[in-house]
C-alpha cells in the first residue's frame, strides 16, 4: 500500500524534485541488482516512477551491494535501510553534470 501512495505522490512532483523513501530505494536496489533489464523495462514503460539507473548504481556501489552479499547476509535489508535513512536530504539526490561528449562513429585501433 505504501508503494502505491508513494507512486501517486511522485506523479505530482517534478522529476528534479523527487524524493524516494528508504524502503523504496531498497526495493529499487534489489530489483536492479537481480535484473537490470527488468528494471529498465519497468522504468521505460512508465507504469512506475523509478530512480535513474545511475542513481541506483551509485547507491548500490557505495554499499558494495551485490546479489551474492544480499543472499548471504540476513541483516542486509536492515543494514541498507539504516544507511540510506542516515543520509541527509542532499545525499539522497545524485546530480550528473556532463559538459560535452563527442562520440566518433567508428573505432580506432592501433596494434
Q: Where are the domains of the chain?
A: 2-92
What are the pLDDT digits (tens) for 12-43? 888 888 888 888 888 888 888 888 888 888 88
pTM of the model as a whole: 0.52
Given a cut of 70, is residue 101 above it in pLDDT? no
Per-residue 3-state assignment (H helix, E strand, C coil) for the chain: CHHHHHHHHHHCCCHHHCCCCHHHHHHHHHHHHHCHHHHHHHHHHCCCCCCCHHHHHHHHHHCCCCHHHHHHCCCHHHHHHHHHHCCCCHHHCCCCCCCCCCCCCCCCCCC
Amino acid at each position: 500500500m505504501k508503494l502505491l501512495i508513494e507512486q501517486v505522490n511522485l506523479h505530482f512532483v517534478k522529476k528534479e524534485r523527487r524524493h524516494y523513501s528508504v524502503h523504496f530505494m531498497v526495493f529499487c536496489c534489489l530489483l536492479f541488482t537481480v535484473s537490470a533489464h527488468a528494471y529498465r523495462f519497468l522504468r521505460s514503460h512508465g507504469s512506475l516512477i523509478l530512480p535513474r539507473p545511475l542513481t541506483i548504481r551509485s547507491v548500490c556501489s557505495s554499499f558494495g551491494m551485490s546479489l551474492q552479499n544480499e543472499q548471504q547476509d540476513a541483516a542486509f535489508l536492515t543494514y541498507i535501510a539504516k544507511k540510506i535513512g542516515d543520509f541527509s536530504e542532499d545525499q539522497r539526490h545524485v546530480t550528473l553534470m556532463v559538459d560535452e561528449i563527442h562520440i566518433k562513429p567508428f573505432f580506432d585501433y592501433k596494434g
